[in-house]
Each structure stands twice: as C-alpha cells, then as structure tokens.
Amino acid sequence: MFRNTYDSDNTVFSPQGRLHQVEYALEAVKQGSAAVGLRSKTHSVLLALKRSTGELASYQQKMFRIDDHVGIAIAGLTSDARVLSNFMRQQAMSSKMVFNRPIPVNRLVSSIADKAQVNTQEYGRRPYGVGFLVIGQDNSGPHLYEFSPSGNSYEYYAMSIGARSQSAKTYLEKHYESFADSSLEDLVRHGLHALRETLQQDKELNVNNTSIGIVGPASVHEKAVPPAGPFRIVENEAVEPFLQTMIAKDTATGAGAVPPAAAAATGDEDVQMAG
C-alpha cells in the first residue's frame, strides 16, 4: 500500500468514503501467522501457527486464555493483543463479581469491538493492529467469533485470519457443512488440514509450531480434563496425537479436497513492535 493525501489521520475520510489508517491496521493482521477456528454442536476449537524469530528464539505465543469458558487466537501485533486480552479478562472478572456468572461470549466480544471502534473515531489514537478469533461456550452452546481492528465482529461456523488465510478459507468453505455433527477429533483434523493450506511449500506442521485451543468435553487424546470442558491450550508433545490423525496432502487432494490456492508470499515473522 502507498501513502496518499487522506491517510495521515484515522479521523479523515477519503472522497471514496474510506478510512485508510483503519485499512492499514487490517493489513497488519494479514502479516501475522495464520489462525483457524471451527465449531460444532458440542465444541469450539482454535488452531494457530506459531513462528520463531530465529533458531535461538522460542516460538511466539499465539493463544491466550481469557476465562474458563473463553479463549482467543491472535494474528498481528502481539503487544496490542496483550492489552486487549487483559481488557477481556477484566470484563470477565467483572461479570463474575457483579452478576456471579460467566460473561456471555457475545457480550465479551462486543466489549472489545466497542473499545476498538473508539480508536477509529477519536483524534490522536491509532487502531489496534491485531485480529482475534474468539471461541467460547455459554448457555446457548459453543461459539466462534472474529474480531477485527475496524471494530467489527462476526460469528462464524469456521474462519481463518492471518497470512495466506484465504487458502484455509477455501478448505473451510468446502467442508463446513460437516462440522456441526463432527466429533472433536474430526473437528481438529479439519482445522489442521486448513492450517496446513497456509504453509509455505517447504514447511510442515509439527509439535513446535502448532497450537490447539479447545472448549468442550475432552477428546480421547486428553487426560485430566474436567467434565465441563473448560478452555485449554494443547501444545508441544501433547499435539502429536492430533497431528498423527492428519491425512497426507496428496491423498486428501485425490479424495476431493481443495488444493491450496496461490497466495502472495509474505514475511515469515509476525509483526513486532520496535523495542
């Protein structure tokens, strides 16, 4: 993208009715590594691709627990994600203290959307440069929401954000009708297949670069999970049993899966705030 007369401030509309600073924030989300979310009648799951800044660095955290029933996956500026996730935790804690109940997922997502919208309207502020996939479970069942820096939020059956996420969306659009009745193992396998579509050709999913977030009853690969199925993050060696369930790419393509769509190559690191 390039500079123009109307992109110096987020309160100035262009003649075409666009807020360029907000659009630039949405581009920051597209620079982050991919995250995929899916939901069924009983579970909601998140899958995220972790990146490392170098061989000597650890892999970046891509998921955050907000409350027992809510968790998020991020794409974009990690520092902005920490600020917003702390705000979400405050909202969840306030609901428990004031109303003595877990906060409904849609209300929690609306609260951060309202917070982000303020930064698109007031002078002297910049939009948040991070997008979320939010999963949760409340009295109305499992939920999956997308939050964007523009202040918009939508509920989905399945969604992906981040670099090369269009390839994952193509896979999800082809298979989403089967998600509602899927078991947790099948749901995670579909998510891993979608996440695999976002990889560069020489990369593979492994226990180091893959994170899985789950809300709902435990799978056969999990141990010591309470019956209510609170949000938990599966990482490192615990991911291996789920990776073993994946179908080889050549086999999956031959069975009618959508081949990965061509996508523009982007940087291989999440956007980081300058130190």
For residue 83, give both structure tokens. Answer: 């600020």
- Predicted confidence at residue 3, as pLDDT, reads 61
CA distance 8 to 20: 8
For residue 268, give both structure tokens. Answer: 């291989």
260 touches 197 (CB < 8 A) = yes
Question: Could you report the per-residue pLDDT of 42-71, keeping only the tens digit for each?
Answer: 999 999 999 888 888 888 899 999 999 999
Class of domain 20-245: alpha beta
CA distance 68 to 114: 23
In this prediction, the residues of the chain whose per-residue pLDDT falls under 50 are 254-269, 273-275
* Domain assignments of the chain as residue spans, ordered by start: 20-245
CA distance 78 to 60: 9
- Predicted confidence at residue 275, as pLDDT, reads 41
- Predicted confidence at residue 231, as pLDDT, reads 95
CA distance 28 to 187: 28
190 touches 160 (CB < 8 A) = no
Question: Where do the DSSP E strands lie in 162-269?
Answer: 210-215, 232-234
Mean pLDDT computed over every residue of the chain: 88
CA distance 205 to 140: 33
Burial of residue 71 (number of CB atoms within 10 Å: 0-12, 13-18, 19+): buried
Residue type present at position 87: F
- Predicted confidence at residue 270, as pLDDT, reads 53
Q: Is 244 helix (H, G, I), strand (E, B) or coil?
A: coil
What phi and psi, each to the nearest 5 degrees, are found at residue 243?
-65, -30
- Predicted confidence at residue 260, as pLDDT, reads 43
